[in-house]
Structure 1
Amino acid sequence: MAAIWLSAVPLGTTAKEEMERFWNKNTGSNRPLSPHVTIYRWSLPMVMSICHRGTGIALRVSLFGLSALLVPGSFESHLELVKSLYLGPALIHTAKFALVFPLTYHTWNGIRHLMWDLGKGLTISQLYQSGVIVLVLTVLSSVGLAAM
């Protein structure tokens, strides 16, 4: 119990003084710093986890973009506006692919995460296999949906 009181912060110190005391103590101890993401070798599961979070954020943000459809005017008027731009089929297909890719990736990878929650596919080899399967399914379903 006495050890707790010995390490207690003295009353009357400011946050700046405490921060300086903390850094002086830790810098002088020569302990290694905590690892940073730059020292890790990036693996497929690591990248896919980051991308899953990113696509989730992108999908959430895109809801605000889709809310533009609620502005005055009908869907047909917005469609006519896009048609009047005379964009080539390659650009339109690419734009449709770019719009549908985050949705399909997040969906397929979400199913993969649900399987993990059930305790399936948790070995290292299964992690990589399911990652490749998710990527293949994402590309195929994105191409198919963009072609519609």
Structure 2
Amino acid sequence: MLGNVCRATTLNSGRIRPLFSAICSPSAKMLNAATMKRFMTVEHGKKFIDKNVKLNRPVSPHLSIYKMELPPLLSGSHRTTGFIFTVMSVSVATMSFLPWNWATILETMRYYVPYPPIVFAKFGCVAGVSYHFFNGIRHLVWDLGYGFKMPTLYKTGYLVIALALLNGLRVTVNGTQCSKAPGSFQ
């Protein structure tokens, strides 16, 4: 069958021939179904993996072989925070159709959830929103054509992280002091 495909492509115009050039190469013609089955056995795969494990080689490429640099981490976390806050916005909008009001929901959470997780959740939300905000400003500066040199990328990246953490800490501490007042729902 492989020979028929190769003959058919040589009879056609030169536009189709490159598509089948790998199939019609002399080395590909030498491989038949029996040869391919020999390479595709489970035993062959086990031998290969066992040999690499004994030699202390990585069995397959994994993200752990790469050094994670700051710019890709910040890019991924910017997308992640954007996705998380989109889901949260849709959830809050959906919750507005429920028969309860926010004061009831927050008072119920305060009753059932211990205090430290609430403070940690406040910090996470505020730091995440702050990070997404400050990194968005960083992206707008990039749209103007500034800040593409690697030292500048690292400086602005660390600045965004620091500003997000400081703003999260500031709002959490101020919000924690306010929420200790009786009758407040913050």
Query: Does the alignment reach a TM-score above 0.5?
Result: yes
Give secondary structure in 1 for the equivalent of 2:15. Answer: helix
Give how far 1:127 is off. Answer: 0.3
Identity of aligned residues (%): 31
In the alignment, what sits opposite 1:61?
Answer: 87
1:58-97 CA-partner distances (Å, limit 9, x unpaired) = 1111113313243111222112212322622x33211111
Asked if the contact 1:44–1:128 (Cα under 8 Å) also holds between the matched residues in 2, the reply is yes
- What residue number does 2:180 align with? none
How many pairs does the alignment contain?
126
Aligned partner of 2:144 in structure 1 is 118
Q: Which structure 1 segments of 5+ residues have no match? A: 10-20, 29-34
Structure 2 gaps of 5+ residues are 1-12, 32-60, 176-186
Q: Determine which of 105, 129, 140 is the counterpart of 2:155.
A: 129
8 A Cα contact 1:108 1:138, kept in partner: yes
Structure of larger gyration radius: 2
Match of 2:107 among 63, 76, 80: 80
User: Could you say which structure has the greater relative contact order, defined with CA pairs below 8 angstroms and 6 or more residues apart?
Assistant: 1
TM-score by length of 2: 0.59
Specify whether residues 82 and 46 from structure 1 end up closer, same or farther in structure 2 by C-alpha distance, changes over 3 A only: same
Report the AA paired with residue 5 of structure 1. Answer: I
The equivalent residue for 2:17 is: 6
**TM-aligned CA deviation for residue 145 of structure 1:** 2.0
CA distance in 1, matches of 2:16, 2:70: 48
Separation in structure 2 between the aligned mates of residue 40 and residue 86 of structure 1, nearest angstrom: 40
